[in-house]
């Protein structure tokens, strides 16, 4: 089984009956409740299944109720816990689309062959996503990381998930 994928995090306790706020990392925040089962780290560092018995919108956020969590004090112990799902739960995408998790660890090279390093994370900025690339230790320009806009055709020339390479039209910082 592959390593579970984190899709959200439990936030602060809501009320006295064990409800928790949910910070969703999915495109549509409510989409986190479409994934079953949820997985959470257990005391030994492994993953255990947890069942959601109810959820609802609350203001601009989401709250949920988990099985066997009926008191505020029990819920407080779960604050900050990552919510993960099995990677097999994700819908298969067309060849020209990919999940962010597929881009993490890819080498980033420009069309002239300059190696920028590896994708460390991605950020959502509103106008476009941004690759956060950790530079190689021997970066000729002394950069530690670079922020590269993920703009198809203009900056991103190709993404080869099989070879783990993203080709960009971007010059190194001088």
Q: Is 22 exposed, middle or buried (0-12, 13-18, 19+ CB in 10 A)?
A: buried
The answer to whether residue 174 sits within a structural domain is no
Measured torsion, CA atoms of residues 10, 13, 18, 22, in degrees rounded to the nearest 10? -30
Query: Do 83 and 110 belong together in one domain?
Result: no
* Residue 171 confidence (pLDDT): 84
Which of 21, 55, 89 corresponds to the end of one domain?
Answer: 89
pLDDT confidence of residue 142: 64
pLDDT at residue 11 in the model: 94
| pTM exceeds 0.85 | no
Are both 79 and 123 inside the same structural domain?
no
Q: What is the CATH number of the domain that holds 77?
A: 2.40.30.60
46 in the same domain as 13 = yes
pLDDT at 140: 62
pLDDT reported for residue 92: 81
Collect the ranges in the chain with pLDDT lower than 70. 1-2, 138-142, 173-174
Domain hosting residue 80, numbered range = 5-89
Distance CA(87)–CA(102), nearest Å, equals 11
- Number of domains composing the chain: 2
Contact between residue 14 and residue 78 where contact means Cβ atoms under 8 Å apart: no
């Amino acid at each position: 089984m592959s390593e579970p994928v984190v899709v959200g995090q439990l936030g602060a306790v809501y009320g006295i009956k064990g409800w928790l706020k949910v910070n969703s990392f999915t495109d549509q925040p409510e989409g986190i409740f479409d994934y079953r089962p949820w997985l959470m780290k257990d005391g030994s560092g492994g993953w255990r299944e947890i069942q959601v018995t109810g959820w609802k919108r609350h203001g601009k956020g989401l709250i949920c109720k988990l099985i066997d969590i009926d008191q505020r004090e029990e819920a407080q112990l779960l604050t900050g816990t990552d919510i993960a799902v099995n990677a097999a739960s994700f819908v298969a995408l067309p060849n020209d689309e990919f999940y962010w998790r597929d881009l993490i660890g890819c080498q980033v090279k420009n069309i002239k062959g300059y190696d920028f390093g590896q994708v460390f994370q991605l950020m959502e900025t509103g106008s476009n996503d941004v690759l956060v690339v950790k530079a190689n230790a021997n970066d000729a320009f002394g950069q530690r990381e670079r922020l590269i806009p993920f703009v198809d055709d203009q900056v991103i020339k190709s993404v080869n998930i099989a070879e783990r390479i993203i080709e960009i039209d971007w010059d190194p910082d001088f």
